[in-house]
Amino acid sequence: MSAFSTTRKFAGVVAAAAAISLALAGCSASSEPAAKGDGVLKIGAVIPLTGALAFLSPPEIAGIELAVADINAAGGVLGKPVEFSIEDSSDGDNPTIAPASATKLLSEGVDAIVGAAASGVTRLIIDQITASKTVQISMSNTAPDLTTWNDGGFYFRTAPSDLLQGAIVGNQIVADGNENVAIIYQQTSYGEGLEAKAKATIEAAGATIVSSLPFPEAETNFDSIVDETIAAGADSVLVISYDESKKIIPALQKKKFDGSKIYLVDGNLANYSDQDWKAYLNGAKGTLPGGKLDEAFKKRAADLYKEKTGEELVEFAYLSETYDAVILLALAAQQAGDDSGASIQANMTSVSTGGTKVTNFADGLKVITDGGDVDYDGYSGPIEFDENGDPTGASIGIYQYGKEGTYTLLDVVAGNSVK
């Protein structure tokens, strides 16, 4: 355990965090940060402590905690411990929370913000953050349109665009022999972007889209959508959602649709072992950005999370992408010799490409201290930011569910995430 202290906020204080954030909604942060940082790298995080993606907050919290622990154990950034704080983003159904949280963090003088998890929520805060010349880096934004967002170069992400995931899940559906595919998708920037790419891929591969039906975020009744899906003659269903899947899947089961012919994506590829219908998913498949997680890394994250919260870490989606985001921010500040947002932004691409390959902060710190340039390859992959802040090379894992409602890795497919 590091001798350095950090500022933490966990899911156990969600209600208080949300109340404080809302109370501060009227506050405003300075739009022009100081030319130089104060010598202490301060990282804020806007992640879903509540809402439809709340199941993703434990691995994201664990990723931040572990990264900061590793950085500080190696000596910190610019010789000082990194500090961090976490605020709630909630989801698109609660659109006032994320902006209030971003306002609070900016008013506290953070140098960079990790998050949001959902692409739609990032749309609510990206202009506010990047206009203040504060770096924003998301571990799980996948909407294709964020690639060309007018962010002044201050927005990055460690997860690949859905141009990659959509192609891979679409090809998997056809490769499994399905010919008449239905799509049920969330009517958000995330759902629409992923649906468009998956649909185009499936049709290009020779299969037919028999129906493609949208629903509003946080919808609870899917009877009519499932009825229409079944009536269309679907032999497989791609479900693009967040935790609305907990309503969609049992609705499909009720109509005796073959559960092994359900395909999920990163927003709903979750541990369903606590659901009565868990065995229904036996044979179902899903996709998730990232490759096979290093077991020692998973254990370190799970052990630290349990130490800090007293809870078991059962979800690992975007753990590595979150960890890598924090390490990259730290390396960029160290290489710049300054912790200001503008200095971090100017070095983010450099620390992810070219230079001496490193796979941890300690080695990167040594290279930089010796006057060298680093190229960080993380647990989520090589990353290598392009001019838009996207990782140019990435991997997508293909998973399959068993009878217990949990999934295991079948294959990892690598590809270019920006084409």
Q: Please state, in angstroms and rounded to a whole number, the distance separating the CA atoms of residues 163 and 146.
A: 12
Burial of 285: CB neighbours in 10 Å, binned 0-12, 13-18, 19+: buried
Q: Please state, in angstroms and rounded to a whole number, the distance separating the CA atoms of residues 233 and 227.
A: 10
Read off the tokens for 197: 């790419």
Pairing of strands 208-215, 180-186: parallel
Give me the residue label for tokens 């969609």: 248
Pairing of strands 236-240, 180-186: parallel
Strand partners, 180: 208
Q: Are 384 and 376 in contact (CB under 8 A)?
A: no
Low-confidence ranges of the chain (pLDDT < 70): 1-35, 416-419
Read off the tokens for 172: 């998997």
Pairing of strands 393-401, 407-416: antiparallel
What's the confidence (pLDDT) of residue 417? 55
Q: CA–CA distance from 125 to each of 64, 144, 189, 280, 288 (Å)? A: 20, 17, 14, 38, 25
Q: Are 103 and 23 in contact (CB under 8 A)?
A: no
Instruction: DSSP letter for 150, please.
Output: -
The residue type at 135: V
Distance of CA 283 to the CA centre of its chain: 25
Number of CB atoms found within 10 A of residue 372's CB: 13
Q: Are 196 and 166 in contact (CB under 8 A)?
A: yes
Per residue in 103-135, pLDDT (tens digit) is 999 999 999 999 999 999 999 999 999 999 999
Domains of the chain with bracketed CATH: 11-160+293-390 (3.40.50.2300), 163-292+396-416 (3.40.50.2300)
The residue type at 262: I
Q: Are 172 and 191 in contact (CB under 8 A)?
A: no
Q: Please state, in angstroms and rounded to a whole number, the distance separating the CA atoms of residues 58 and 312.
A: 9
Q: Are 113 and 343 in contact (CB under 8 A)?
A: no
Q: Please state, in angstroms and rounded to a whole number, the distance separating the CA atoms of residues 349 and 353.
A: 6
Q: How many CA atoms lie within 13 A of 320 on its CB side?
A: 25
Q: CA–CA distance from 337 to each of 38, 39, 133, 157 (Å)? A: 11, 9, 17, 23
Question: At a CB cut-off of 8 Å and minimum separation 6, what does 75 contact?
Answer: 365
Q: Are 136 and 116 in contact (CB under 8 A)?
A: no
